[in-house]
Chain A
Amino acid sequence: MIDLTQLNEGQSAKVISIEGGAGINKRIQDMGIREGSIVTKVTRLFSQGPVVVKAGRTQVALGRGMASKIMVEPLEK
């Protein structure tokens, strides 16, 4: 299990858990990233910048801190 920042570009993964406060957790879930859903990493902007993922049919950009709190299990290609 790794966090979202460690996922490779273009790789898909299943979301295992989202750590962090209830408020931020809720906002992340509203964007379609929740336990059990499949996300694909699109890109990251600089090493410390936001991470862009595809969740369902939307692209979502989230700060690095948030991304590091989302634990995922990479899917085999």
Chain B
Amino acid sequence: MKILLIGNPNVGKSVIFHRLTGVKTIVSNYPGTTVEFSKGFMRFFDLEAEVIDVPGTYSLHPTSKAEDVAVKLIDEADVLINIVDATNLERNLHLTLELINKKEKPLIVVLTIWDETKHKGIEIDVKGLEELLGVPVVTTCGLTGEGIKDLVFKIKQAKLSPLRTKKIPLWNEIGNIVEKVQKLHHRHHTFLDIMQELSIKPPFAFFFALVVVCLSFVVIRFIGEGFINHICDPFFEHFYNPLAMKLSGILGEGGFLHTILIGNLVEGQIEYSQSFGVLTTGIYVPFAMVMPYVLSFYFILGLLEDSGYLPRLAVLSDRVFHRLGLHGYAIIPTILGLGCNVPGALSTRLFEARREKFIAATLLAVAVPCMAQSAMIVGLLGRFGGQYVAIVFFTLFSVWFILGFFMNRFLSGRSPEILIEIPSYRIPHLKTALRKLWMRISWFIKEAVPLVLLGIVIVNVLYYLKVIDLLGMVFAPIVTKIWGLPKEVIGALIIGFLRKDVAVGMLRPLDMSLRQLIVGASILGIYFPCAATFFVLVRELGAKDMIKSIFIMLSCAVSVGAILNVILIWGGIR
């Protein structure tokens, strides 16, 4: 038997899904799309069923790919469980009646967020609703799990509604039903209500957003660094390194296999962030440097999503992103990208239109420095004074804004407008959040890690074949003549393809002036994404758009380097 959970977005469907199904859930793409849905299994006495969590949809007339998938999945179902937000009966019933009218499938209606109705002064006559709809109605609260048992017992009673033959205009019918079963009572505003208003109304909303974002970054850094220092690094030092050193001895330094697998030894030792072998840097970077941050970033992102704050953040930042040809949800790739560009690049998938995806991906690659890189920029320039660090970040921010503005102006098509529901604040359900985190992490391992390894292999082969040295010679005039930097910076630019932060660090011993350091650090941010991001972007954008994007990156780097160099000389920074 196939059971489908279907409902509007933001009604807490996933929480019910996780309560119904066991540990084993699978996330799959609907064939031919990037739309994902979760699948799990439940067993209850003689009832054995596959449960599918369908992407949220407002109606059966799809207006997006996700909704299209939702509608297609319905046709494969045996029983439909319609999840209805009890605090928003009128709008949710629209889908319910559409399901009744258009799909001849046994149905059961679940009124969820039931506990909230009391706080909100809503009284619903469940028996009455059951009679009017002609299908079983169950009340649940996802957070506490109340009512889930009742739902499981009643699945077998799901039935076709007698309403399906009536051909009354939908909204009239809904109006009638709501009037009969729902009573509203006046009640005082609660603290959450007041926050709900305040956190969307300027100017307080912007102040609040700033606090939330800063706090998030502090927590993300705390969790990320905690993992790196207390789990990842000790593991590599005590368990992994002895094995890798043994292998290095067997292969012999300098051989082809050694170069590919282990890389270069630094004073006879493996330097995990610099050796560049598949089994050294290739394993260390994704698992010990990127993963801790991906984990903490996705965890915080999940909490922001589930609490209902993320849509507000999207609305607040919409004004800026709209200028760049994107809408407010572009805040997600941007925030993720500030942690690590790889998950940022993966999340450009949320844009359906090719134009938006292109703009978001290019902006990310050009002007959003990852956490490791930012830290190195602070380390490199901070000792001269905070204002020089600020120059680099201000440069990147300006490039981000100006480049986005021009792309929006000159790429064909128009930027879409935002249209989203702002859900009520809710307390996140920890177990659901952790499951979501686990799904995202395994997705990251599956999608991104192989690309990082592939990138390292390719770059190593190119190194071995001396192609990279050749590239260095070709680009030397740009570095010295246009940017006013020493020729050795080419080494950092090449390494930057693998590790941006290490590349920034490589500027330090080059005996450069303050101006050169500022220009060098800015250019390293702009000129090209790291290999891992690069390969993810190739797949997300396709070869043709990627070539266009690379052209933009390189021309940006050349011109910004030149302009910044001139401005700094003007400003008296030598």
Footprint of B on A, CB under 8 Å? 23-24, 26-28, 30-32, 34, 42-43, 45-46, 48-50, 52, 55-66
Contact = CB atoms under 8 A, between A and B. Distances in A.
B420 interface: yes
Contacts of A59: 196, 200, 421-422
Contact of A60 (B87, B205, B420): B420
Contacts of B53: none
A57 B90 contact: yes
A61 B315 CA distance: 7
A61 B416 CA distance: 14
A62 B417 contact: yes
Q: How many interface residues does chain B have, given as a range?
A: 20 to 34
A48 to B, nearest CB: 7
Interface in B305-320: 311, 315-316, 318-319
Interface in B166-210: 171, 196-197, 200-202, 205
B387 interface: no
A1 to B, nearest CB: 21
B59 A26 contact: yes
B78 to A, nearest CB: 27
Given A23-B63, A26-B63, A50-B315, A45 B202 contact: yes
A27 B419 CA distance: 8
Contact of A42 (B91, B201, B421): B201
Contacts of B416: 63
B61 interface: yes
Contacts of B322: 49, 63
Nearest to B422: A59
B63 A45 contact: no
Interface centre among B171, B196, B422 (most CB of A within 10 A): B422
A42 B197 contact: yes
A24 B416 CA distance: 11
Interface centre among B61, B205, B315 (most CB of A within 10 A): B315
A50 B418 CA distance: 7
Q: Enumerate the 4 nearest inter-chain pairs by beta-carbon distance, A residue then B residue, closest first.
A: A63-B417, A30-B58, A49-B319, A59-B422
Given A26-B63, A30-B58, A42-B197, A52 B417 contact: no
A58 B196 CA distance: 11
Contacts of A45: 202, 205, 315-316, 318-319
Contact of A66 (B63, B316, B417): B417
